[in-house]
Amino acid sequence: MVLHQFYLNCLAHASYLVGDERTGVAAVIDPQRDVDQYLAFAEARGLRIAHVVLTHLHADFVAGHLELRDRAGATIYLGAAASAEYAFTPLADGDRIALGRVRLQAIETPGHTPESISIAVYDLDRSATEPHAVLTGDTLFVGDVGRPDLRAALGWSAADLGARLYESLWTKLLALPDASLVYPAHGAGSLCGKALSKDTVSTIGNERRSNYALQPMSKSAFVDLVTADQPDAPPYFTYDAVLNSKERPTLDEALARELNPMTLELVLALQRTGGQILDTRDPVEFASAHLAGSINIGLGGQYATWAGTVLDRERPIVIIADPGREQESAMRLGRIGFDHIVGFLQDGLRSLEARPDLTATTERVSAPLAAERLAAGEAIVVDVRAAREREQKHIAGSVHVPLNHLADRMEELPRDRPILLHCAGGYRSSIAASLLKRRGFPHVGEIAGGIAAWEAAQQPLVSG
């Protein structure tokens, strides 16, 4: 048996290839949209990807099931409760996919979504009755369970799905042997739950003992627990969930249409008519020089998640990137279904060398200097971190506007006073600064290094 986990850090997403070396048949479960790694892995081991399974219609990324269908000839499988535009084989409780002496068996586990399934993996050379592992999708994570509130926009109440999740966990997954390995679709950093562990594998027994949501409780208490204090879902989540049920262009087709070099004049013309200029360089480089009015979301962080949070899905995007990273910038947007890129600035920021009038900078001040300005009333400090981060520690006197709410709350901020933004380390504050400057705020800067630098400089912090 081959069971390999692929982990995509920027989306905290785990996908899996399961195969039988003797028959050469393999299946991929919950693939990301760029599928080259699965094809290369299979080829290196003499495997053919004949099957692709989605444990549910994912909300936080666009899956690569159509790509594997078209490139490998794989049959697509969804839970029996799913509906989709493309042809798929439905999987109900007990339905099997035979790979040889390796067997996949479906377990219907609705709750995170109505159509969610888990996949029990049997190595028949070890046991035909006890699964070696279970691929739990977003039903059960290491340290958490899937949130049941992401289908509200599609007519499903969190209370209803929470009740289904309770039954799926207690009557289906916790009925498996304690030794069964648990392989979820996400780890820490995912917004599909609120307390996911950094670990990407566990066992049913470990989760039974340590997972806060699997402790003995009534169904109503469970529903209350798992519907409370969930992180805000980015606006693209419902879009992606629907897109995963659609027949759509493949990633290769989208990139072939998008990767067009554009002159500075064309970029400026698009900007004037409402186009979004996305600068994907490092925040420090962006602060030093950038095209005025551009938005900075660096490739070094949770790029796709923040792009899906702050960019408009209906307006065209032009990419500014370090030369050679244009395709990566577009491909990673494609992972969340943002296929409305029209091109990239040819030669990157070098195109601006003859046009210094178009270049802007962002002031980045040290923590001690920021503290002096704050104490003297010369600046307002704005914390763009999430509420949970701020509860742990924050700068006294700072204003809290989480980055994912900044667009709706900009008018709460003064335009007649300098604003110093900060986050944990500088990634999100750069996004925030670019958004404010784009909206015409005249005096916007950042605390270099964020709260980590503030703490390192032994500046005072408060908790609570």
As a whole number of angstroms, the distance between CA 156 and CA 143 comes to 25
| 164: nearest Cα among 117, 211, 106 | 117
As a whole number of angstroms, the distance between CA 290 and CA 244 comes to 35
Q: For residue 200, how many other CB atoms are within 10 A of its CB?
A: 18
Active site residue 423: yes
Of 54, 297, 423, 431, catalytic: 423
Residue 153 structure tokens: 């926009």
As a whole number of angstroms, the distance between CA 280 and CA 296 comes to 6
Residue 104 structure tokens: 């996949």
Burial class (CB in 10 A: 0-12, 13-18, 19+), 261: exposed
- Cβ partners under 8 Å of residue 233, min gap 6: 59, 149, 150, 191
Residue 423 structure tokens: 């986050």
Q: For residue 32, how many other CB atoms are within 10 A of its CB?
A: 23
Distances (CA, A) of 435 to 109, 294, 374, 428, 445: 41, 8, 22, 11, 12
Residues with a catalytic annotation lie at 423
